[in-house]
Amino acid sequence: MHQLPSYSNHASVVNTDRKTSPAITLFAPKDTGSINVVDHEKQLSSTPKGWLDRAVISMSTWKTLFLGLITIPGFVGLLILGLKYENQCPVQPLINTFVIVYGCGCFVQGIVVFIGFITANYMKRSHSPSPNARCLIIAVLIGKLVYILFSVVWWVVGQVWVFRAIANGFQSNDPNQTTTYCNSTLFWNSVVLITVTYVILLIVIVVCGGRFIIKRYKMNQEAAPTINEHS
């Protein structure tokens, strides 16, 4: 009489275990896969946003504003130089064009940087910035890249004109010798402009190269303890 209830209780326990154990084994791999998929999607979606956020932080500094403002004196000086000595370099008349266009490029760069500075500060202070602000930041970055490419090409073209004037026998003493004359102020300021650009490019290469080497060194130092632990 007492064995039947115990047998039924035992059967119910066995049936309960049979019902629950398959559910546990099926649930575990399904959940693991879903977590991996979600993590992978988060990584993909966060990559461009993080890159853009770093650009916003970089453009929101006062250093960026300073770099934008110093282009204004450069623009004014080069524009006055090119217009004041117009038609006073017959040995190579395009030197005037080189100086004027270079100055206008500096002015455009200053405007682009200033717009980027204002937009970046708005995005930093706003909890939910407008999507148009992100588009404007991307446009600023594209504008800076276009300016850099244009300035490098224009700088190379300017060197061709300046060195061609030297090859044609440049002199600044006798304006009547139109085949070789070029105003000394215009010519030598063009040479200074080219030289300063060389110095700036050299500084940029050294700084970027140094940062890359330091970054790689730190990565190797951080990876070294992990390798030693596994070995």
Residues 6+ apart with CB under 8 A from 9: none
Predicted pLDDT of residue 66 = 83
In the chain, the amino acid numbered 84 is K
Q: How far apart are CA 18 and CA 183, in angstroms?
A: 99
Phi-psi region of 87 (alpha: psi -120 to 50; beta: other; left: phi over 0): left
* pLDDT tens-digit series, residues 137-186: 888 889 888 988 998 899 999 999 999 999 999 999 998 988 999 999 99
Q: How far apart are CA 149 and CA 106, in angstroms?
A: 13
Q: Is residue 171 helix, strand or coil?
A: strand
Span 36-60, average pLDDT: 57
The pTM for the full model equals 0.66
Span 49-77, average pLDDT: 79
> What is the number of other CB atoms lying within 10 angstroms of the CB of residue 100?
17
Longest dimension (CA), the chain: 135
Helices then strands, counting H and E runs in the chain, come out as 6, 0
Q: Is residue 37 helix, strand or coil?
A: helix
Span 10-26, average pLDDT: 42
* pLDDT tens-digit series, residues 90-135: 999 999 999 999 989 888 888 888 888 888 888 888 777 777 888 8
Which has the closest alpha carbon to 88: 176, 207, 194, 206?
A: 176
Tell me which residue has tokens 């980027």: 116
Mean pLDDT across the chain: 76
Predicted pLDDT of residue 228 = 56
Residues 6+ apart with CB under 8 A from 204: none
* pLDDT tens-digit series, residues 177-221: 889 999 999 999 999 999 988 998 899 889 888 888 988 888 888
Q: Which two tokens stand for residue 187?
A: 């010519």
Predicted pLDDT of residue 25 = 38
Q: Residue 92 carries which DSSP code?
A: -
- CB of 165 closer than 8 Å to CB of 92: yes
Q: Is residue 12 helix, strand or coil?
A: helix
